[in-house]
Amino acid sequence: MTGAAEATAPHGPGTGDAPPVLALAGVSKSFGAVRALREVSLELRAGEAHALAGENGAGKSTLVKTLSGVHRPDSGQVLMDGQPVEFHKPADAQRHGVAVIYQEPTMFPDLSVAENIFIGRQPRASLGRIDRGEMRARAAELFARLGVALDPEQPARGLSIADQQLVEIAKALSRDARVLIMDEPTAALSGNEVARLFTVVKALREQGCALLFISHRLDEIFELCQQVTTLRDGAWIASEPVAGLTHEALIRRMVGRDLDTLYPKLDAVAGEVALKVHRLTREGVFTDVSFEVRRGEIVALAGLVGAGRSEVARAVFGVDRWDAGWVEVNGRRLPPASPTAAMSAGVALVPEDRRQQGLVMDQSIERNIGLTGLKGLRRGPVISRAAERDRARDWAIRLQLKFNRLSDAVNVLSGGNQQKVVLAKWLSTRPQVLIIDEPTRGIDVGTKAEVHRVLSELASDGMAVLMISSELPEVLGMADRVLVMQEGRLVADIPRADATEESVMTAATGRAS
């Protein structure tokens, strides 16, 4: 960590005379037991584009939120022009000239583009009235400066995401922003739109704006940026010039860590095909996705956030409809868009967002576990509480759930135990195909290992498991095969023996090596 120590000094060696416009010095931030940022330092300079690289969960978003006043650091400092500043809320950062462009901007759909730019700061005429002519003219001027053709009087509703970002950039310009932070701005854009965004952003850079740019597409980092800072597991890894760096070297910085022993995958003999997905397409979301999962196999679906993995899972389970292709379970075709049919065919989906989609948070553990199999709990027309309780106790013991009473509400459990309840809920339907989305997101290390143990046991009992995960070590440790998705397409099918962090990341970031 000697590099970090160097970067901590506001006037580090070789940094020239002017202090950086905006800097982080030794910033740490924890959420409960999770240490999202550990002693991270970063320096943004005028006229320079700085990339922030790192895997999902490396702490990039937390860093952005610290710079933009959403989070306050637990320790360490935010510095502007070398002076410590404290941002208590986003408005404080904005006042200091820090503007953030999010992947999907938040706009006022009912107001005009010009009003979106100037809300709260409209140009005034006499008696404090809004000077609409002036507002329109200034917005038009901003768009002219950016070289984009947008009509200030158009309502924001119906603008494409690319245009919304341009409006946000115009807003930043109108505030004389000195620092522009862009959090994965290109994730939802087409090639043309990216080119247009880059033209605008490069012009801003030349006008002396300091840029922080986050993207999973390495090509974009190399095209736009001069400096790159890499984070891994919340820790600062390196800050270095982009020139002279190779894609491979950057990927190694992002992923290079030791595989630990958290992933006790038992060997299982792959049986017959349980789930077969053939050329599945949902327009604009994913295209031509084909794969198979056999009994006893754990297949990981890897890729970057937004690559379409969860969407494929939802379509297979019938939550979303698909436009072309088909899905077969144990040799029988599933009707499209019918979760009921998928469930009775033996498919279970454990969704990514437990709080939103997986659990009824105010209800008891036993109620939640019983929810998926109410038919099996019926004694005549009524649900048998005793049967419900028996089943819940059964699974709670099997999954080593930690709880006081089965009648406790789910929301008092820890994240990891909540995940076990979701698992129990679906496993109690005795599925033959288990689709599980981000099985260990946001849960602690010990519970992670238990979830992995359970998954591994289920597979060796003959279940076919399709696991979506953004954590590479988990993917590599657990999976018999790794499928990699990139921008809605399945781009690689890597057997366990060939799967390395480099090979998976390379496929996911779209670099044919």
Partner 1 sequence: MTAVTAGRSTRGIVDLVFRARELSIVAALAVLVAVTAGTNGNFLSAQGLKDIFLNASILALLAVGQSFVIITRNIDLSVGSVVGLVAFTVGDVLAADHGLGVGVAIVLGIVIGGVCGLVNGLLVSFGRVPALVVTLGTLYIIQGLDHAIAHGRQINAVDLPESVLSLGNGSVLGIPYLPLIAVIVMLAVGYYLRSYASGRDFYAIGSSPEAAGLAGVPVRRRVMAAYLLSGGLAGLAGVLWLARFGTVVADDAHGWELQVVSAVVVGGVAITGGVGTVYGAALGALLLTTITSALVVLKVNPFWQQAITGALLLLAISVDRLLALRVARILRRRNARHGS
With beta carbons less than 8 A apart as the criterion, state whether 2 and 238 touch.
Answer: no
| Binding status of residue 159 toward partner 1 by CB under 8 A | yes
CA–CA separation, 445 and 440 (whole Å): 9
Taking CB atoms within 8 Å and a gap of at least 24, the contacts of 80-87 are 80/21, 80/22, 80/23, 81/19, 81/20, 81/21, 82/10, 82/11, 82/19, 82/20, 82/23
C-beta of 155 vs 339, nearer to partner 1: 155
Query: Which one, of 323, 269, 260, lies nearest residue 298 by Cα?
Result: 269
Q: Which stretch binds partner 1 (CB under 8 A): 107-115, 243-251, 263-271, 288-296?
A: 107-115
Write the interaction track for partner 1 spanning residues 109-138; mark x where CB under 8 A is met and - where it is not.
xxx---x---xxxx-x---xxx--------
For partner 1, the binding residues in 161-180 under the rule CB under 8 A are 162-163
CB 489 to partner 1: min, Å? 22
For partner 1, the binding residues in 180-219 under the rule CB under 8 A are 192-193
CA–CA separation, 232 and 241 (whole Å): 18
Q: Which stretch binds partner 1 (CB under 8 A): 101-109, 272-280, 316-324, 420-428?
A: 101-109
CB 100 to partner 1: min, Å? 9
What element of type H or E holds 18?
Answer: none
Q: Which stretch binds partner 1 (CB under 8 A): 15-23, 147-155, 222-230, 441-449?
A: 147-155
Three-state secondary-structure class, residue 121: coil
CA–CA separation, 256 and 475 (whole Å): 15
Q: What is the DSSP letter of 409?
A: B
C-beta of 151 vs 362, nearer to partner 1: 151
- Tell me which of 2, 106, 261, 340 binds partner 1, using CB under 8 A: 106
| Binding status of residue 284 toward partner 1 by CB under 8 A | no
- Tell me which of 64, 139, 150, 270 binds partner 1, using CB under 8 A: 150
CB 103 to partner 1: min, Å? 14
Q: Which stretch binds partner 1 (CB under 8 A): 34-42, 144-152, 334-342, 496-504?
A: 144-152
With beta carbons less than 8 A apart as the criterion, state whether 184 and 101 touch.
Answer: no
Total residues binding partner 1 (CB under 8 A): 32
The position carrying tokens 């938040």 is 106
- Tell me which of 104, 108, 272, 360 binds partner 1, using CB under 8 A: 108
Three-state secondary-structure class, residue 340: helix
CB 342 to partner 1: min, Å? 31
C-beta of 115 vs 220, nearer to partner 1: 115
CA–CA separation, 360 and 440 (whole Å): 19
With beta carbons less than 8 A apart as the criterion, state whether 251 and 221 touch.
Answer: no
Q: Return the half-sphere exposure (C-beta side, CA atoms, 13 A cut-off) of residue 151.
A: 7
The position carrying tokens 């310009």 is 173
CA–CA separation, 479 and 471 (whole Å): 12
CB 57 to partner 1: min, Å? 24
CA–CA separation, 233 and 395 (whole Å): 33
With beta carbons less than 8 A apart as the criterion, state whether 302 and 473 touch.
Answer: no
The tokens for 283 are: 């327009």
Radius of gyration, CA atoms only, the chain: 25
Write the interaction track for partner 1 spanning residues 302-321; mark x where CB under 8 A is met and - where it is not.
--------------------
Write the interaction track for partner 1 spanning residues 57-96; mark x where CB under 8 A is met and - where it is not.
---------------------------------xx--x--
C-beta of 159 vs 435, nearer to partner 1: 159
What element of type H or E holds 15?
Answer: none
CB 513 to partner 1: min, Å? 33
C-beta of 21 vs 107, nearer to partner 1: 107
The tokens for 400 are: 């080593």
CB 102 to partner 1: min, Å? 9
CB 493 to partner 1: min, Å? 34
The DSSP bridge partners found for residue 298 are: 465
| Binding status of residue 154 toward partner 1 by CB under 8 A | yes
C-beta of 11 vs 124, nearer to partner 1: 124
| Binding status of residue 362 toward partner 1 by CB under 8 A | no
- Tell me which of 1, 11, 75, 151 binds partner 1, using CB under 8 A: 151
| Binding status of residue 149 toward partner 1 by CB under 8 A | yes
CB 3 to partner 1: min, Å? 34
With beta carbons less than 8 A apart as the criterion, state whether 64 and 71 touch.
Answer: no
User: Given the rule CB under 8 A, which residues bind partner 1?
Assistant: 90-91, 94, 106-111, 115, 119-122, 124, 128-130, 149-151, 153-155, 157-160, 162-163, 192-193
